[in-house]
Amino acid sequence: MPKTINVLFLAAEADPFVKVGGLGDVAGSLPKALRALSNDDVKLDVRLVLPYHPVIKAENVNPLGIYTLSRNNSEVEVEAFETLVDGLPVYLINGEAIRANGSVYSADAKLDAEKYVFFSLAALKLANHINWTPDVIHANDWHTALSLYGNLTKRWEEGAKHIANVMTVHNLPFMGPDVRDLMESYGVKLAQTDLPDWARVMPMPLGLWASDAIVAVSPTYGNEILTEEYGAGLFDFLQIRHETLSGILNGIDTISFDPATDNAIGANYDADNLERRWTNKKLLQERLGFPHDQNIPLFGIVSRMDIQKGMDIAFNALKTMKKIDFQAVILGTGDPKL
């Protein structure tokens, strides 16, 4: 019999339910890929937990029940739901803090703080109501980081089972708002940590501090966040914790994005018939009103407009090519200065 490792995977977004950026791709693909890694020695029972954002229009969602979180001497209701996507169990958490914030990410830091503190603590308590206990809690970025901090304090205060904490850093500079008062309203006190003073009230640093293992989304990014330039003020702390930090390269989804089978492109192709790509190029040129030209270079970029994505380099490269004919289409949102 293989050893079963239960993993509760928390994220703010995940394809196909809702996707705003790259986190949605990872959270939609990685749990399924981890489950597929199961072998004769180890079985990975990975389950995904998401906020039930109002924009999610999922089918075949079943109610699990209602439980509560204590807050300021009263009880806050948590509604839990479950569904299944390609064999992956998915839990959706709802409550007033989530319904009040219609978007996945709000421009109002207070709304986001209310939503994601509630979600993180509610997801942590979910295991009590599904007859399933995680061995590992895997959080992603600041939105779910407080589940790790809550898990650690629960371990300290209640002598709870040791559930390992794993934190994946997708974007370190986005650390979340000051959640000191919110956490205390839920009865979770902020401990003295070896974090910088300013970081002791923010979700991302607290999640990192509470982690048994820290994962960066590539080996390069793992090295970068250990430097002053890219460490967002936490490089000293991360250097102390460097033995727990691993850079693991995000993979690509070769099932959803396979040109040989993808229904979203005009002509399917593979390595044996690359000439079919011209049909797709022609269709894109027609849609954008570009002149038809099989030989002209056509650049397509879909990205967040940010120097972290190398967009400043891409734009400068296009500027240097002004002396030759080319076509380019760029889709994204982000830094208006770019």
Please tell me the predicted confidence (pLDDT) of residue 161.
75
128-137 pLDDT, tens digit per residue, is 889 899 999 9
Question: 60 to each of 16, 81, 83, 85, 99, how far by Cα in Å?
Answer: 14, 10, 6, 10, 20
Residue 285: partners with Cβ closer than 8 Å, 6 or more residues away: 291, 292, 293, 298, 327
pLDDT reading at 201 higher than 80 = yes
Each residue's pLDDT tens digit, 87-96: 999 999 999 9
> Measuring CA to CA, which residue among 29, 38, 36 is closest to residue 11?
29
Mean pLDDT across 298-318? 89
Q: Which of 36-40, 66-70, 334-338 has the lowest mean pLDDT?
A: 334-338
pLDDT in tens, 28-49: 999 999 999 988 899 999 999 9
Compute the CA torsion angle 26, 29, 35, 38 (nearest 10 deg): -90
Q: What is the pLDDT of residue 313?
A: 93
Residue bearing tokens 């890219």: 230
Please check whether the domain covering 3-247 is classified as CATH 3.40.50.2000.
yes
Output 156 or 261, whichever has higher pLDDT.
261
- What is the residue extent of each domain of the chain? 3-247
Distance CA 73, CA 187 (A): 9
Cα–Cα nearest to 33, from 69, 76, 86: 86
Q: Which has the higher per-residue pLDDT, 59 or 126?
A: 126
Determine contact, residues 240/193, Cβ cutoff 8 Å.
Answer: no
The tokens describing 86, both together, are 């390609």
Mean pLDDT across the stretch 74-94? 97
Categorize the per-residue pLDDT at 153 as very low, low, confident or very high, splitting at 50, 70 and 90. confident
Q: What is the pTM of this model?
A: 0.90
In the predicted model, what is the mean pLDDT of the chain? 93
Longest dimension (CA), the chain: 70
Which range is least confidently modeled, 42-56, 146-160, 205-219, 245-259? 146-160
State the pLDDT confidence band at 307, using cuts at 50, 70 and 90: confident
The pLDDT assigned to 187 comes to: 92
Q: Where are the beta strands (DSSP E) in 86-212?
A: 88-94, 136-140, 164-169
Asked if residues 327 and 296 have their Cβ atoms less than 8 Å apart, the reply is: yes
Q: Where are the beta strands (DSSP E) in the chain?
A: 3-10, 42-51, 62-71, 74-85, 88-94, 136-140, 164-169, 213-216, 245-247, 298-302, 327-331
